[in-house]
Amino acid sequence: MSKTVSAYAATSATEPLARTTISRRDVGPHDVAFDIKFAGICHSDIHTVKAEWGAPNYPVVPGHEIAGVVTEVGSEVTRYQVGDRVGVGCFVDSCRECENCVAGLEQYCTGRGGMRGTYNSVGRDGSPTYGGYSQSIVVDENYVLRIPDAIALDAAAPLLCAGITLYSPLRNWKAGPGMSVAVVGLGGLGHMGVKLAAAMGAEVTVLSQSLKKMEDGLRLGASHYYATSDPDTFKKLRNSFDLILNTVSANLDLGAYLSLLKVDGTLVELGMPEHAMTVPPFPLAGMRRSLSGSMIGGIAETQEMLDFCAEHGVTPEIEVIDASYVNEAYERVLASDVRYRFVIDASTI
Ligand code: NAP
Ligand code: ZN
Ligand code: ZN
């Protein structure tokens, strides 16, 4: 039987999120149903509900950093059982047949329906998807992750988006000893980038708007910390980095950041601001630098990231909040006043 559960939803770009009810589908043969215990607040939730990426399909129930405990499994499910600690990230299905799906890059699915987002998307059954700001969810077992025992459920939630979004490019560009990595923006994504890059053995520099969070940045694993509001920073750090991970949710002067790369260095765009940014040719061509981008990670890589975090003791710094605080939390994220991820206690939904 489909189930009615409480959720927090946005009904327009300007109204605050409010409590509502949504329906969760029947548990199919390949489905896992779980009680959501915690859901992280990602800046992408805010871009979406504020229609900064185009008009979403309201009501939007955001949340793609979801951790909980299995309550029911379908008859054909082999990987999970009732009581297991599980998570779901940014997508709940994909075509499973295209070149990218077969390669474990489901986030770049080019097949029919593409990657089906955890919210503001359409499921295989044709109904709208609703995310983690809710009491429970039903997801195909192939898109469910196992949360290692060493990671508490509240800390596990942000790994499902912020964690994998930084882990994937760090692995792709082979971060490790001898590599100089800069993380731009010390928010939800950025602080995971610092922790993960340090755990992989890279030398990490934080580039933040001010020095306000310097003590935190150094504690999280950075060796250096600079304020980007200080023009001297860009003079001093010219030609310094092998890899720059830009996690900023707003437009930056990309040319200024490109010029901080060494020859053959790469700037990976992870932030998804509302408006386009321009790329000046000289700082790019002048040192054979590259500009790239990266989006979350595939299912197998997300599981690898969770296991890596358990092994290396890498967990996000979180502030657990009641669901009724969600609108204030959004304001604080927008003011860069988050240390470093808000996580909703789903029992308060
Ligand atoms: P967040 O917690 O708000 O962090 C963003 C950080 O960027 C802030 O803490 C701030 O760091 C810096 N910042 C904000 N406004 C700025 C401005 N005007 N100028 C310079 N720096 C500014 O957000 P998040 O959840 O980490 O997400 C960051 C971005 O990544 C969003 O656009 C989100 O949609 C996107 N995202 C992308 C993916 C992907 O797969 N590529 C996945 C998840 C999220 P400082 O205070 O240190 O300067
Ligand atoms: Zn996200
Ligand atoms: Zn596909």
Quick: pLDDT tens for 242-281: 999 999 999 999 999 999 999 999 999 999 999 999 999 9
**Which of 160, 218, 336 is the pocket-test mutation for ligand 1 (most atoms within 8 Å of CB)?**
336
Q: State in Å: Cα 294 to ligand 3 middle.
A: 17
Atom of ligand 1 nearest to the CA of 44: 34
Quick: pLDDT tens for 60-86: 999 999 999 999 999 999 999 999 999
Q: State in Å: Cα 275 to ligand 1 middle.
A: 14
Q: State in Å: Cα 25 to ligand 1 middle.
A: 33
Ligand with smallest separation from the Cα of 212: 1
Atom of ligand 1 nearest to the CA of 340: 2
State whether the beta carbon of 336 lies less than 6 angstroms from ligand 1: yes
State whether the beta carbon of 165 lies less than 6 angstroms from ligand 1: yes
Residue nearest ligand 1's atom 23 by CA? 43
Quick: pLDDT tens for 222-233: 999 999 999 999
Spatial neighbors of 143 by CB under 8 A, at least 6 apart, are 88, 91, 92, 93, 94, 106, 299
Q: What is the pLDDT of residue 261?
A: 98
State whether the beta carbon of 64 lies less than 6 angstroms from ligand 1: no
Quick: pLDDT tens for 252-262: 999 999 999 99
Please give the domain boundaries of the chain with CATH numbers for all domains. 3-152+317-348 (3.90.180.10), 162-293 (3.40.50.720)
The distance of Cα 87 from the centroid of its chain, to the nearest Å, equals 13
State whether the beta carbon of 185 lies less than 6 angstroms from ligand 1: yes
Q: Is the pLDDT of residue 2 over 90?
A: no
- Place 116 in a pLDDT band, splitting at 50, 70 and 90: very high
The residue among 253, 247, 249 whose CA lies nearest residue 229 is 253
C-alpha separations of 36 from 41, 52, 137, 160, 330 in Å: 14, 27, 7, 14, 20
Residue nearest ligand 1's atom 36 by CA? 271
Spatial neighbors of 237 by CB under 8 A, at least 6 apart, are 182, 205, 226, 260
| 109: amino acid identity, one letter | C
Q: Is the peptide bond before 59 cis (omega within 30 degrees of 0)?
A: yes
User: How much is the average pLDDT of 79-103?
Assistant: 98
Quick: pLDDT tens for 22-65: 999 999 999 999 999 999 999 999 999 999 999 999 999 999 99
Q: State in Å: Cα 214 to ligand 3 middle.
A: 42
